[in-house]
Structure 1
Amino acid sequence: MKRFDWRDRIHELDAEADCEQIVRILATHEFPWDIEQALGLALYRTYAVPSVGELLAYTREFTERTQHRYDDTALILNDIMEHGFGPGRGRDALRRMNQMHRSYDISNDDYLYVLSTFVVMPVRWLNDYGYGWRRLSDHEIAASTNYYRKLGKHMGIKDIPETYAAFYELYDNYERDHFAYTDGGRAVSDSTLELMVDFYPAWQRPLVRPFTKALLDDRLIRAFDYPEPSRFWRAAANGAMKGRAKVVRFMPPRKEPRWARTSPNIQTYPDGYDPSRIGTFPQGCPVPHDMRTQMVPATGAQVPAPGEALPPEGSERSADGGAPQH
């Protein structure tokens, strides 16, 4: 197998009809480590939005059970990507994610922003920052955009942008308008950074901490009120990432997929897991919400309101989002 065979395979596929297959190839064969880092940074950015950071801090899940929440997030997104949106393990993971989100009053605007980070950050990491061993093509960017549009529709998110350019505009404007310091956002950020540092051997951690912060852009540094990284650490982090990309370019292509569930950083479920049983099961909602099932005019099919669980096959969800009515 040659170095660019996966790239060539991707360009034989359709960016819309085959978007799930293209994203699997990108995330598990072409750029498994890079996309893992980019999506981790995508989620991390959301803590700088006060409504998101304060909610996550309120639950204390991301400050007191950080490893557990890291694992649940990675595994749920992995199962959706690996198994798809149809009935089965992927649908179970999607339902579990929607059930967790539905416990809280999350605005459609916040959902849109979080979705935009998943679309934008891999492109920024690989293309804009130059950390990829090759650049993503427009075809690949379109396929990734279509995949996350599909995910957003299954989450019941409204007014989803249609193109990468529109996603980027939403992402950039939302951060400009909403990024701000909060104690909750800073606490979640600190806990997440400490978890990331703990993935490395103890002797490396004093270097990993400033190295990691040097990869954060100025907008994030200001939002979390961190000291500005020194020019040395900025240059060292940027140089190391670009140096790694040059080395990876000459490595053989990955024949077997690398799934997030096989990562040594996932530690909570050594004996395996059921996607329908992981995550949080809040007892009661800490904030008011009013999620409603929507109807898709073209098909009459039900889709969940933002954060609402998908109704089981062969049943209908009651208007107040309660148990299925038979």
Structure 2
Amino acid sequence: MRSTLSVHSPALEALIPPEIRAPRSRWTRARYIAGLDAERDCEQIGYLLASYEFPWDTTRALELALLRTFGVAKGAPLLAQTGELTERTQKRYDDTVLILAEIQENGVDHPRGRAALRRMNTQHGRYSIPNDEYVYTLSTFVLEPIRWNARFGWRRLTRHECDATYYLWRAIGRRMGIRDIPPSYAALERFNVAYERAQFRYADANHRLAVASRDLMLGWVLPRRLKGLGAPVIDAMLDQPMLDAVGLPAAPRALRWALNRGMRARAHLLRQLPPRRRPWLATRRPNRTYPDGYQIEQLGADRR
């Protein structure tokens, strides 16, 4: 099978002017984004934020967004029963990353973006998932990168960029058939806060899903015998309602303080460094599940 990692160039890269791909100033892209239309140009803005401005931060934030959905007790039993997130955690993670990356790197109406959306809709169509759970999951993909950057990013996202992020995910959500998406970024944020207040509560399935995902993340950087030492670092990134809902312990206060100080030092360092001149692309990076490349049609679970 010929690898897509070496033959496919993301469609949205062609929209970026050369002087924005390789700017002289760390702030050039922010000024360029400010001149774009938040709704009309939301795909280009999302691409610049995720692939150039904040690639590492966006990836970590979306990992926490997926983890956060496990706090909703009513949806956890289905996620646990499929076994995709507890027995085939790495594949499920890689499939999700690649499907979303195909959409975000190419656009919702590009042939590859449409193919990824069809594949995602086919996967979800096997199960009876309430619409409100879809809306909540969508809200985490909008809000968690914004919240992460407010805490740890080398700069905060502007309100213009927040609106563009909302419009991008609204476009994705509409093509997934999600109904009743709140009509603005502010309305989506209000929905998210109210939904978590109403739906976050502990269940054993929540705990199993959260531990499986946390162990997966730790396994990328630590040998198995040291996972117990790394677990509190991830716990330190979660707020108390989330910890309670998935049954994870609060990290020691000293660790939370050290983590915040370390991440702020990283942000300060990044502000002094030259801007990224090549995009970070999930579809072009080596992948644990698909080391020889993949076809969009093979992403996701096989029918069982």
Structure 1 segments, 4+ long, off by >6 Å, are none
- Please tell me whether residue 211 in structure 1 is matched to residue 243 in structure 2: no
Cross-structure match for 1:226: 248
Query: Does the CA contact (< 8 Å) of 1:75 and 1:261 recur in 2?
Result: yes
Q: State the shift of 1:136 in Å.
A: 0.7
Aligned equivalent of 2:296, options 269, 275, 282: 275
- Please tell me whether residue 194 in structure 1 is matched to residue 215 in structure 2: yes
Mapped partners of 1:80, 1:24: distance in 2? 10
Query: Does the CA contact (< 8 Å) of 1:215 and 1:238 recur in 2?
Result: no
Cross-structure match for 1:66: 89
CA displacement 1:73-119 (0-9 Å, x = unmatched): 00000000011112411111110001000100001111110011111
Which has the bigger relative contact order, CA under 8 A and spacing at least 6? Answer: 2
- Please tell me whether residue 173 in structure 1 is matched to residue 173 in structure 2: no
Say how many residue pairs are matched: 280
Q: State the shift of 1:208 in Å.
A: 2.5
Amino acid at match of 2:281: W
Name structure 2 gaps, 5 residues minimum.
1-23
Between structures 1 and 2, the one with greater helix share: 2
Query: Does the CA contact (< 8 Å) of 1:48 and 1:181 recur in 2?
Result: yes
Mapped partners of 1:277, 1:190: distance in 2? 27
- Please tell me whether residue 238 in structure 1 is matched to residue 256 in structure 2: no
Amino acid at match of 1:282: R
Query: Does the CA contact (< 8 Å) of 1:34 and 1:132 recur in 2?
Result: yes
Q: State the shift of 1:245 in Å.
A: 1.1
Cross-structure match for 2:183: 162
Aligned equivalent of 1:97, options 112, 115, 120: 120
Mapped partners of 2:230, 2:274: distance in 1? 28
- Please tell me whether residue 125 in structure 1 is matched to residue 148 in structure 2: yes
Mapped partners of 2:80, 2:228: distance in 1? 26
Q: State the shift of 1:19 in Å.
A: 0.3
Mapped partners of 1:157, 1:61: distance in 2? 22
Cross-structure match for 2:19: none
Mapped partners of 1:96, 1:195: distance in 2? 24
Mapped partners of 1:45, 1:201: distance in 2? 22
Q: State the shift of 1:205 in Å.
A: 4.3
Q: Provide the identity percentage.
A: 45
Cross-structure match for 1:297: none
Q: State the shift of 1:72 in Å.
A: 0.3
Q: In structure 1, the residue corresponding to 2:109 is in which secondary structure? A: coil
Query: Does the CA contact (< 8 Å) of 1:95 and 1:276 recur in 2?
Result: no
Mapped partners of 1:124, 1:247: distance in 2? 20
Q: In structure 2, the residue corresponding to 1:125 is in which secondary structure? A: helix
Cross-structure match for 1:15: 38
Amino acid at match of 2:283: R
Name structure 1 gaps, 5 residues minimum.
284-326
Amino acid at match of 1:156: G
CA displacement 1:106-142 (0-9 Å, x = unmatched): 0111111001111111111112x2x110111111111
Amino acid at match of 1:254: R
Q: In structure 2, the residue corresponding to 1:271 is in which secondary structure? A: coil
Q: State the shift of 1:228 in Å.
A: 2.1
Mapped partners of 2:303, 2:204: distance in 1? 23
Amino acid at match of 2:200: F
Mapped partners of 1:251, 1:116: distance in 2? 32
Q: In structure 1, the residue corresponding to 2:234 is in which secondary structure? A: helix
Mapped partners of 1:183, 1:210: distance in 2? 20
TM-score normalised to structure 1 length:
0.83
Q: State the shift of 1:222 in Å.
A: 0.6
Mapped partners of 1:227, 1:146: distance in 2? 36
Query: Does the CA contact (< 8 Å) of 1:96 and 1:275 recur in 2?
Result: yes
Point out the structure with max Rg over C-alpha: 1
Q: In structure 2, the residue corresponding to 1:61 is in which secondary structure? A: coil
TM-score normalised to structure 2 length:
0.89
Mapped partners of 1:96, 1:272: distance in 2? 17
Mapped partners of 1:22, 1:194: distance in 2? 33
CA displacement 1:136-173 (0-9 Å, x = unmatched): 11111111111011111101111111211111111011
CA displacement 1:217-263 (0-9 Å, x = unmatched): 10111111222221111112222222211111112111111012344
